[in-house]
Amino acid sequence: MKNKLLATLIIIFFSCASSNDNNEIFLYNNLYFNALEGELEKDKPPVVERYTNYFNDQNIQIPLLKYIQHENYEIFIGIPVGTTIQDLKTDKKDFLDISESKIKSDSNYFFTSYEKDEYFISEYSSYFANESIIYIAVKTKNNELCDTLFNKASLSNRIQLK
């Protein structure tokens, strides 16, 4: 009886200790994505083709790491493979056939926002202190959300290194 009680207490302790009270979604390499209310991490397989068609059908491969769904938008988080921010920016500019002025960037990040089909899209990629590189793409039908919730500052603040 004591062993069952001890085992139950240990399970409760670890489930509470590992609970996600502040909505952090672990990415990799001590990087976390801060999820907002209504954002839920979902299985990737159903959306891989949609992700590929919109964001990963270029010269540089960015495998999908996490898929986060909200009733008003979708967030795709990937890890660029064997590339740099400058290469990502150049590839994105060529793929979208957009002007340099539509992409904000420096040597540590790039950000762009545009309309494709009937969606408003924001894309952001950045290096972090541990030299990891993350790519975030957001797809929504609401332009206001794209401008306010998914601008460069908002997206960069949602990735935390711990």
Question: What does the block give as tokens for 141?
Answer: 């039908």
pLDDT at residue 36 in the model: 95
Sheet with 133-140, edge to edge strand ranges: 40-42, 64-70, 73-78, 133-140, 119-127, 109-116, 103-105
Cβ-contact 6, 12 below 8 angstroms = no
What would the pLDDT profile of 46-76 be if each residue is shown by its tens digit?
898 888 888 877 788 899 999 999 999 999 9
How do the pLDDT tens digits run along the chain, 162 residues long? 443 333 333 333 333 333 344 689 999 888 999 999 999 999 988 898 888 888 877 788 899 999 999 999 999 999 998 888 998 888 877 777 666 557 888 889 999 999 888 999 999 999 987 688 999 999 999 999 999 999 999 999 999 988
- For residues 125 and 80, is the Cβ–Cβ distance under 8 A? yes
CATH 1.10.600 fits domain 23-161: no
**63 φ, ψ (degrees, to nearest 5):** -60, 140
DSSP-derived letter for residue 97 is: T
pTM of the model: 0.82
Tell me what pLDDT residue 22 has: 66
CA–CA separation, 36 vs 148, rounded Å?
A: 14
Q: How high is the pLDDT of residue 120?
A: 94
